[in-house]
Amino acid sequence: MNNAPKTEETHLSETRAKLLRAAEVHVVFDGWSDATFTAAVEDSGVEAGLAEIACPRGGLDLAVAYHKAGDLAMVAALETADLGAMRYSERVAYGVRVRLETTDREAVQRGVSLFALPIHAAEGATLVLGTVSLIWEILGDTSTDVNWYTKRAILAGVYSSVLLFWLGDDSYESADTWEFLDRRINNVMQIETFKVKMRDNSLVKAFMSGPGRFLGHIKAPSKRAQTDFPGYIAPKD
């Protein structure tokens, strides 16, 4: 039994989880709005001040929390799946499919509408990047160069297009969506095959050793916290 004291972030995460459960019935009618947030606070019994600390932007923070909860559910499902029995393209497609199947279509639709607004578009894009990064990481991607960015950009495009298709799909058990997903993933695999072939092309080699050599200096974002900025205080051991 773990009797370790809860951290502040753990306490806030639990608060957001309570608010999310209470918000589900209201999202259908009011979207991820402040009205939904207010109703969730009342229904959950969470103290108003604590709710504002956990979600200072109200409904927007609830929408972000809902997306991240979906990411966690996806990770849990992928970690228990027999990915080794699948071809690589099937693993990528399965990751996207699981991510969609672990969410409520109406709640996602409301989230898409919210993050389509110009003021929230950047945050929505960041959330999608986080989702596809998790998929690549679980599948064992170890790229640290420009490929880190291209893989995520391509899969983000696939995920976004499949998401929109899924939201409008009325086929039995979303069969049309999964067929569409398979086609898109096949296109991605063709691009990857093309990239491999191009690496051996003499013209590409000449470009990479000349004008394109700057691409070799592009690195994936560091997972370590930045510690060289003014005001940083190292944590105590």
Q: Can you name the CATH fold of 64-199?
A: Tetracycline Repressor; domain 2 (1.10.357)
Q: What pLDDT is recorded for position 118?
A: 96
Q: Residue by residue, what is the 3-state secondary structure of the chain? A: CCCCCCCHHHHHHHHHHHHHHHHHHHHHHHCCCHHHHHHHHHHHCCCHHHHHHHCCCCHHHHHHHHHHHHHHHHHHHHHHCCHHHCCHHHHHHHHHHHHHHCCCHHHHHHHHHHHCCCCCHHHHHHHHHHHHHHHHHHCCCCCCCHHHHHHHHHHHHHHHHHHHHHHCCCCHHHHHHHHHHHHHHHHHHHHHHHHHHHHCCHHHHHHHHCHHHHHHHCCCCCCCCCCCCCCCCCCCC
- For the chain, the structural domain boundaries read 64-199
Q: What pLDDT is recorded for position 201?
A: 44
Q: What pLDDT is recorded for position 191?
A: 57
pTM, full prediction: 0.81
pLDDT tens digits in sequence order for the chain, 237 residues long: 455 456 878 889 999 999 999 999 999 999 999 999 999 999 999 999 999 999 999 999 999 999 999 999 999 999 999 999 999 889 999 999 999 999 999 999 999 999 999 999 999 999 999 999 999 999 998 887 778 888 888 899 999 999 999 999 999 999 999 999 999 998 877 655 545 544 554 443 443 344 434 445 455 675 654 444 333 334 444
Q: What pLDDT is recorded for position 230?
A: 37
